[in-house]
Structure 1
């Protein structure tokens, strides 16, 4: 726990390093810029997850859900193999 100067009124308030902490004097959010950034990042993460080819939607049929799970498995295996190969190349001496 610490203190942070309010960007709105300029007075110091207790701050738990939470994006949603508010000023004790004027009620303004102490980390408004950080909160906006975090909200944009969360929204972008959700959009990226939904656009991924193997994203399983609730309205997908059972066949599609199983196909996507199998696709996720093989994608994970592929990425693992590529990572191991890259590690081996990087670990080779000079």
Structure 2
């Protein structure tokens, strides 16, 4: 089944088939690059997840807030390491 896609460069509508790279019939610009689109989507998702993290240190945070967030990050890493160790220990040791 063919889909119509508008070229971002020249605005010409093109018919594409399949999932491989397609070029515009008018200007030759790449219309659809699944690899590039997927990488952009992953990058956007990672940035959204980083922004949601409660201990993300921003440039406009005060020194006290930065210290608190660094302390929170270190505490989180230590606690998760301990929990991971005990989970590994429970999985390895026979009952």
Q: Deviations over 1:14-63 (max 9, x none)?
A: xxxxxxxxxxxx4537x711110110100110111111000001111000
Do 2:21 and 2:34's aligned partners in 1 also have CA atoms closer than 8 Å? no
How far the C-alpha of 1:93 sits from its partner, in A, is 1.9
Displacement over 6 Å in runs of 4+: none
TM-score (norm 2): 0.68
- Which protein has the bigger strand share? 2
Partners of 2:66 and 2:79 in 1: how far apart?
20
TM-score between the two structures when normalised by the length of structure 1: 0.68
Residues 84 and 72 of structure 1: is their aligned pair in 2 closer, same or farther, counting only changes over 3 Å? same
Q: Which has the larger radius of gyration?
A: 2
